[in-house]
Amino acid sequence: MQPDATQANTEATLSVRGLKKVYQTDGGDVEAVRNLTFDLRAGELACLVGPSGSGKTTLLKCISGLMAPTEGEVLLDGKRVTGPPKKMAVVFQEYGRSLFPWMRVRDNVELPLKNQGVPKGERDRLVDNALEAVGLSHVPRSYPWQLSGGMQQRVAIARAIAYQPEVLLMDEPFAAVDAQTRADLEDLIRVVWKKLGVTVLFVTHDIDESVYLGERVIILSSSPTVIQEDIQIDLPADRDQLNTRSLPRFTELRHHVYEQIQLAKKGHRPAAATSGGAGTE
Ligand code: ADP
Ligand code: MG
């Protein structure tokens, strides 16, 4: 199913419009992102997949208001983003650097709520629920450095969930954990997404991960970056690592995404930003 273009504008939670980012460096200008336009509707789970260096982190920094785009704009519920919006949370790749090592797990998760002035009772409830959602109820008094990499990333996810964002941005959050943990965390994201109804933009360079996780996959070209293709993932809503990944449709979709990325690498520009997707007869 394709999103209805006429509805997409009015229902969009997040709109990226003509976004361009050029870094000015001593060695000259670096055009990281050339021209990106897409909408995310409320409650959507979209993956953005693109090769390393294609500007994924740059895009997320612009969306989350941490960096101003060179051209274009980001709108959240129709309002232009000019700094970190309250309704957004970001989970970064480097969990090791995003948690405070001197604070216990519980305090790390609670910190943004404290900063928001959420009352103590409500904070406790939100932190308890978030730790339970990520399966960390048993380690609230540990320090991050006492936990495995996968557990640390769970803490970062719990912190984002406790904050109750409307939009959750994730920048290759599982790139540094082992394969088994990664599979568990992927499933956790789908569970959390379903439970909270949050809008998720999940960035990855991993094609299989994008197809397994997403309801939609936005494929980036390599640098200078544009959208190569934007496809709906018509896999069953209930996914599991064994069965979903062995479905013929999964193979077709991953093949299609892979092919598009290869084409992009060879410089084939998309005919149109949005197409009908993989093998839709
Ligand atoms: P990705 O996250 O897809 O790997 P990035 O957004 O990190 O890509 O980088 C996109 C391009 O922009 C790369 O060529 C990178 O070298 C360049 N780049 C990223 N950050 C900076 C910066 N702060 N200054 C200059 N160039 C940068
Ligand atoms: Mg990156």
- pLDDT for res 279: 46
Which range among 3-12, 51-60, 115-124, 186-195 shows the weakest confidence by mean pLDDT? 3-12
Q: Helices 149-162 and 105-115: crossing angle, nearest 10°?
A: 30
Number of domains present in the structure of the chain:
2
Whole-number Å distance between alpha carbons of 45 and 47: 7
Which among 14, 109, 110, 29 has a CA at the least distance from the CA of 65? 14
User: What CATH number corresponds to the domain at position 48?
Assistant: 3.40.50.300
| Lookup: tokens for 46 | 């979209």
**Domain final residue pick, 164, 197, 216:** 164
Q: Whose CA is nearest to atom 21 of ligand 1?
A: 23
What value does the mean pLDDT take over residues 26-46? 94
Q: Whose CA is nearest to atom 16 of ligand 1?
A: 53
Whole-number Å distance between alpha carbons of 65 and 80: 10
- pLDDT for res 7: 44
Q: Ligand 1, from 47, 57, 204, 227: best to mutate by most atoms within 8 Å of Cβ? A: 57
Whole-number Å distance between alpha carbons of 99 and 122: 22
Residue written as token pair 């460096």: 25
Does residue 58 line the site of ligand 1, with CB under 6 A?
Answer: yes
State how far Cα 71 lies from the chain centre. Answer: 22
Do β-strands 79-80 and 71-76 pair in parallel, antiparallel, or remain unpaired? antiparallel
Q: For residue 244, is pLDDT > 90?
A: yes
Domain match, 62 and 171 both: yes
* Residue 88 forms part of a structural domain: no
For residue 256, the 8-state DSSP code is H
Q: For residue 38, is pLDDT > 70?
A: yes
Q: Report the percentage of the chain scoring pLDDT > 90.
A: 71
Q: How far is the CA of 64 from the centre of ligand 2 (A)?
A: 14
The answer to whether residues 254 and 214 touch, using CB atoms and an 8 Å cutoff, is no
Residue written as token pair 């976004």: 19
**Domain final residue pick, 105, 132, 164:** 164
Residue written as token pair 């999940």: 202
The answer to whether residues 177 and 185 touch, using CB atoms and an 8 Å cutoff, is yes
Domain match, 62 and 191 both: yes
* Residue 159 forms part of a structural domain: yes
**Domain final residue pick, 142, 164, 186:** 164
* Residue 271 forms part of a structural domain: yes
Task: Give the CA angle between residues 113, 57, 179 to the nearest 5°.
Answer: 85
25, β-bridge pairs: 28
**Per-chain mean pLDDT for the chain:** 89
- pLDDT for res 46: 97
pLDDT, tens digit, 9 for 90 and up, residues 155-190: 999 999 999 999 999 999 988 888 888 898 899 999
Domain match, 136 and 179 both: no
User: Residue 119's domain spans which residues?
Assistant: 94-164
pTM: 0.90
